[in-house]
Amino acid sequence: MRLLSVNIGTPRSIEAKSGQSGIFKVPVSEPVQIGALGLSGDHIVDTENHGGLDQAVYVFTQPDYDFWSQLLGRVLAPGTFGENLLVSDLESAPMSIGERLHVGEVVLEITSARIPCVTLAVRMNDPQFVKTFRRVRRPGFYARVISEGKVQAGQPVTLEGQRPLDGPSVLDTFEYYYSKFHTPAEIEHLLSAPLHRQMRAQLEAELSGR
């Protein structure tokens, strides 16, 4: 398993409420420092909904890219989905929350699925793309930074230990956002994992409000 691409973006004007976005990311060949808040040189405009300690890095995978390329009928360049890192040989949906990826000295811990917004639709030049993204269920995932360091395209990527068999998956967190009703057991199942803080707060509020 390898790191195929490291991508960073600078703010660009878009036709959306925010007016600007850093979703237009391009690959870089040189080593890039990853710190607690993400990649050096990468700009996040909508800090209310993106970035932060628990969404510091957005990871997409080549098998998911291959699926999307076939579905859309065109080759998609790395960075198309606004991801920071593109990794080979993984599908994002079955990955477990809390699972850790090692890239050189960097250690990342998966915290949640990516939930699409209108900015992605603008990026893809398709007003219906959010609905398509929802239907396809190949969302990529956010990660927090456990160990900081530099990464570079071409490095090997390894998973730490064995995947938990009973913990929530990336897809479970994705489906949570689109489901209107959640049982206490479903909520507690999600809360058993090291989710990002915003999702954890939503789940705890939902559970306590019953």
Distance in angstroms (rounded) separating the CA atoms of residues 168 and 45: 30
pLDDT at 24: 85
What's the predicted TM-score (pTM) here? 0.92
CA atoms within 13 A on the CB side of 132: 13
Question: Could you tell me the domains of the chain?
Answer: 3-208 (2.40.33.20)
Tokens of 111: 């915290």
Distance in angstroms (rounded) separating the CA atoms of residues 155 and 103: 7
pLDDT at 49 over 80: no
Average per-residue pLDDT for the chain: 91
Residue 124, CA distances (Å) to 42, 59, 68, 133, 161 in order: 20, 18, 12, 11, 36
10-14, 101-105, 140-144: least confidently modelled range: 10-14
**80-113 pLDDT per residue, tens:** 999 999 999 999 999 999 999 999 999 999 999 9
pLDDT at 164: 67
136-140, 168-172, 206-210: least confidently modelled range: 206-210
| Stretch 159-176: mean pLDDT | 87
Query: How many CB atoms neighbour CB 161 within 10 A?
Result: 7
